[in-house]
């Protein structure tokens, strides 16, 4: 029986970062070199991001927090809280986002209810606590106490795909399974002032958000994305170009400027094992109608579009998510797939159209998936 992703629902913190205002704050920090100031202006202005969401309510100039840990709005100074302080905020804010996104996903499937959930898979690389989000979802949603729980931690931007692949495996093994997958990332907890190009790039791109999906083979007549195939490929170079380390003042992002070049050089080879899984795909890349690309940054999208000769229309979902939300690590590609589902599943004409999706992360790892759009069927 086909394994379907029935819905994707999202949640974001209420505090909005406006890219131009954030740029000005970062550019005004003491200790910056002239080169650092130029890099900030270039990175923020060229990111093609308008707004992002943050769990750090202090990151606003509209009100002044008493005894701030992250940002002193009164004098415009970014503070340098310890990793412990940052992680404590993660443990305080992340549960609400996990639960909000998951609740919306369940509500979007009226034929399913909390007791139907057999497995929970949670994903995050931006904080830790235990009992973790997988446990909290069972309690908060009233799931069966025997629900099987799994947490994928610290994998980075591509981690939604291992979670979806595991969900498909559970459903292939037992068609009665109903799997709840929830990704939640609070990347903005780890921003800091710096002259380092990688750190500046992270400050210009990263944001916070959560996405939840329901995966099951129980209801083949329902609308959704059929999960067909998954593949993972490690590029032969780039191990040090993208990384995520734990420091004394938060997690430290390594996002080398050469990453788009690595993806440009190796994206064809990375896609080859996936597309070889389906003999019916005797077409050009642009012949696959829909592309759910993780918008790791504008340069990455530009390189993928040019190398695969995709149209502007095929990049709209990824570019729109980047513009409105920034890079939310593992959650981001789920936001993109949500756009594709919502824009197309209401039309019977798209039945059987394929979606090729991909995300990139530390390693350098390329995760890919083929999916099929299937509107609701009767009879």
- Identify whether 240 is part of a domain: yes
Whole-Å CA distances, 281 to 13, 129, 275: 40, 44, 7
Work out the angle at residue 339's Cα, subtended by the Cα atoms of residues 333 and 147, and round it to the nearest 5 degrees: 60
- Both ends of the chain: CA-CA distance in Å? 16
Report pLDDT digits (tens) over 83-100: 999 999 999 999 999 999
Q: Does the structure show a pLDDT above 90 at 284?
A: no
Sign of the torsion formed by the C-alpha atoms of 227, 325, 39 and 255: negative
Higher pLDDT, residue 261 or 238: 261
What's the confidence (pLDDT) of residue 379? Answer: 58
Report pLDDT digits (tens) over 125-174: 999 999 999 999 999 999 999 999 999 999 999 999 999 999 999 999 99
Q: Does the structure show a pLDDT above 90 at 328?
A: yes
Q: Does the structure show a pLDDT above 90 at 333?
A: yes
Residues contacting residue 25 through CB under 8 Å, at least 6 positions apart: 61, 71, 76, 78
Using DSSP's 3-state secondary structure scheme, residue 372 falls into: strand
The residue annotated as part of the active site, out of 109, 125, 157, 356, is: 157
Q: Are 21 and 73 in contact (CB under 8 A)?
A: no
Q: What is the CATH number of the domain that holds 325?
A: 3.40.47.10
- Identify whether 356 is part of a domain: yes
Q: Which two tokens stand for residue 363?
A: 């390693």
Report pLDDT digits (tens) over 100-126: 999 999 999 999 999 999 999 999 999
- Identify whether 188 is part of a domain: no
Report pLDDT digits (tens) over 200-240: 999 999 999 999 999 999 987 899 999 999 999 999 988 88
DSSP class of 79: P
Measuring CA to CA, which residue among 149, 166, 124 is closest to residue 367?
166
Q: Are strands 77-78 and 148-153 parallel, antiparallel or unpaired?
A: unpaired
Q: Are 337 and 8 in contact (CB under 8 A)?
A: yes
The rounded distance, in Å, linking the Cα atoms of 2 and 217 is 6
Mean pLDDT of the chain: 94
The rounded distance, in Å, linking the Cα atoms of 155 and 278 is 28
Catalytic status, residue 183? no
Residues contacting residue 76 through CB under 8 Å, at least 6 positions apart: 25, 28, 61
307-317 burial: b if 16+ Cβ within 10 Å, else e? bbebeeebbeb
Q: Is-above-0.75 flag for pTM?
A: yes
125 CB neighbour count, 10 Å cutoff: 22
Domain count, the chain: 1
- Identify whether 366 is part of a domain: yes
Beta bridge partners of 158: none
Please state the rounded mean pLDDT for residues 18-44. Answer: 96
Q: Which domain holds residue 274?
A: 224-374
3-state secondary structure 61-127: CCCCCCCCCCEECCCCEECCCCHHHHHHHHHHHHHHHHHHHHHHHHHCCCCCCHHHCCEEEEEECCC
The rounded distance, in Å, linking the Cα atoms of 63 and 72 is 10
Q: Does the structure show a pLDDT above 80 at 261?
A: yes
The rounded distance, in Å, linking the Cα atoms of 250 and 240 is 19
Q: Which two tokens stand for residue 128?
A: 């830790």
Whole-Å CA distances, 24 to 16, 42, 78, 253: 15, 12, 12, 21
Higher pLDDT, residue 369 or 377: 369
Q: Are 212 and 101 in contact (CB under 8 A)?
A: yes
259 CB neighbour count, 10 Å cutoff: 22
What's the confidence (pLDDT) of residue 238? Answer: 82
pLDDT confidence tier of residue 253, bands split at 50, 70 and 90: confident
- Identify whether 237 is part of a domain: yes
What's the confidence (pLDDT) of residue 219? Answer: 84
- Identify whether 124 is part of a domain: no
Q: Which two tokens stand for residue 215?
A: 């995966």
- Identify whether 86 is part of a domain: no
- Identify whether 140 is part of a domain: no
Please state the rounded mean pLDDT for residues 38-57. Answer: 97
Q: Does the structure show a pLDDT above 80 at 63?
A: no
Work out the angle at residue 262's Cα, subtended by the Cα atoms of residues 256 and 265, and round it to the nearest 5 degrees: 165
């Amino acid at each position: 029986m086909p394994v379907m992703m029935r819905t994707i629902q999202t949640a974001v913190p209420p505090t909005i970062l406006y890219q131009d205002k954030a740029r000005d704050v970062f550019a005004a920090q003491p200790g910056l070199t002239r080169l650092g100031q130029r890099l900030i202006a270039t990175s923020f202005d060229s990111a093609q991001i308008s707004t992002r969401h943050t769990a750090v309510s202090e990151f606003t100039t509209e009100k002044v927090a008493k005894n701030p840990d992250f940002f002193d709005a009164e004098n415009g100074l970014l503070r340098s809280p310890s990793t412990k302080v940052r992680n404590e905020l993660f443990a305080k804010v992340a549960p609400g986002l996990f639960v909000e996104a998951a609740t919306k996903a369940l509500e979007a499937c009226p034929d399913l209810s909390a007791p139907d959930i057999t497995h929970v898979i949670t994903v995050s690389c931006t904080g830790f606590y235990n009992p973790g989000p997988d446990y909290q979802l069972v309690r908060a949603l009233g799931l069966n106490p025997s629900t099987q729980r799994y947490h994928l931690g610290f994998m980075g931007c591509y981690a939604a795909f291992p979670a979806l692949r595991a969900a498909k495996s559970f459903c292939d093994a037992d068609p009665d399974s109903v799997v709840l997958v929830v990704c939640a990332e609070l990347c903005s907890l780890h921003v800091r002032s710096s002259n380092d190009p990688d750190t500046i790039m992270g400050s210009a791109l990263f944001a916070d958000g959560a996405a939840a999906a329901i995966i099951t083979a129980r209801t083949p007549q329902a609308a959704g994305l059929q999960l067909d195939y998954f593949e993972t490929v490690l590029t032969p170079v780039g191990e040090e170009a993208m990384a995520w380390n734990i420091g004394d003042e938060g997690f430290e992002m390594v996002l080398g400027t050469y990453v788009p070049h690595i993806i440009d050089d190796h994206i064809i080879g990375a896609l080859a094992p996936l597309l070889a899984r389906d003999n019916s795909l005797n077409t050009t890349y642009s012949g696959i109608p829909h592309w759910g690309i993780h918008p790791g940054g504008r340069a990455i999208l530009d390189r993928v579009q040019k190398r695969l000769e995709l149209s502007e229309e095929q990049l709209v979902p990824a570019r729109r998510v980047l513009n409105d939300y920034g890079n939310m690590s593992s959650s981001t590609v789920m936001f993109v797939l949500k756009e594709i589902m919502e824009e197309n599943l209401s039309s019977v004409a798209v039945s059987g159209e394929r979606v090729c999706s991909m995300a990139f992360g530390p390693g350098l790892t390329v995760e890919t998936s083929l999916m099929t759009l299937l509107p609701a069927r009767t009879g």
